[in-house]
Amino acid sequence: MAETRRQQIIEMLKKRGEPITGSELSKNFQVSRQVIVQDIALIRAQGYQVLATPNGYMIPGEKESTGYLKSILCKHGGYDEMEQELTIMVDAGIKIIDVIVHHPLYGKIRKSLNIGSRMDVEDFMRNVRKDKAEPLSALTGGEHMHTLEIPSDRAFQRMIEGLKEKGFFVKEIEKEL
């Protein structure tokens, strides 16, 4: 019964393509939120990339996607460079799923972004500047990773060229997802 529920959760997350709250999942399956949290942990252990966002759980890139996921390592500082980096990515047709840093004390820190357009970049940067928020990469001297949804090899290469031109691109990461 639990295995069937987990399989149905996976299918819901894939079909929806946008976050589903733990409360919604618990109501749907008539179990507690704690059971859903445990289910999500087991689903992740099976190899599914389930992101916990402020709006709920999601599996990125599943809905109507013909692309694939990749991770890259970048380095830069400051708000302006962050905005340039994100703009280069979305202008190439790339969706920025998250940002990840490896902190020496706290380990891997991952934050969902789900930025897929210039409007998303503008909204994100407006919030960053308004709150005077330090990016996660400030913890690691500007070095950070992104999980990206890539529509094509051509789009990926275009993005890499743009990032290299600005000096932001460090390398592609294998097996980070």
Q: What is the pLDDT of residues 95-104, one digit of tens each?
A: 999 999 988 8
Q: What is the pLDDT of residue 53?
A: 79
Interatomic CA distance for residues 37 and 6, integer angstroms: 11
pLDDT, tens digit, 9 for 90 and up, residues 113-125: 889 899 999 999 9
Q: What is the pLDDT of residue 119?
A: 92
Q: What is the pLDDT of residue 35?
A: 95
3-state SS class at 48: coil
Contact between 120 and 128 under an 8 Å Cβ cutoff? The reply is: no
Q: What is the pLDDT of residue 43?
A: 92
Do 2-58 and 68-173 share a fold? no
Q: What is the pLDDT of residue 175?
A: 56
Q: Which amino acid is at 10?
A: I
pLDDT, tens digit, 9 for 90 and up, residues 63-79: 444 578 999 999 998 88
Q: What is the pLDDT of residue 112?
A: 86
Grade residue 177 by pLDDT with cuts at 50, 70 and 90.
very low
Domain 2-58 grouped into CATH 3.40.640.10: no
pLDDT, tens digit, 9 for 90 and up, residues 15-67: 876 789 999 999 999 999 999 999 999 999 888 888 887 778 988 765 444 57
3-state SS class at 100: strand
- DSSP state at residue 137: G
Structural domain spans, the chain: 2-58, 68-173
Q: Which CATH architecture has domain 68-173?
A: 2-Layer Sandwich (3.30)
pLDDT, tens digit, 9 for 90 and up, residues 141-159: 899 999 999 988 999 999 9
Q: What is the pLDDT of residue 51?
A: 86
Contact between 138 and 144 under an 8 Å Cβ cutoff? The reply is: no
Q: What is the pLDDT of residue 163?
A: 96
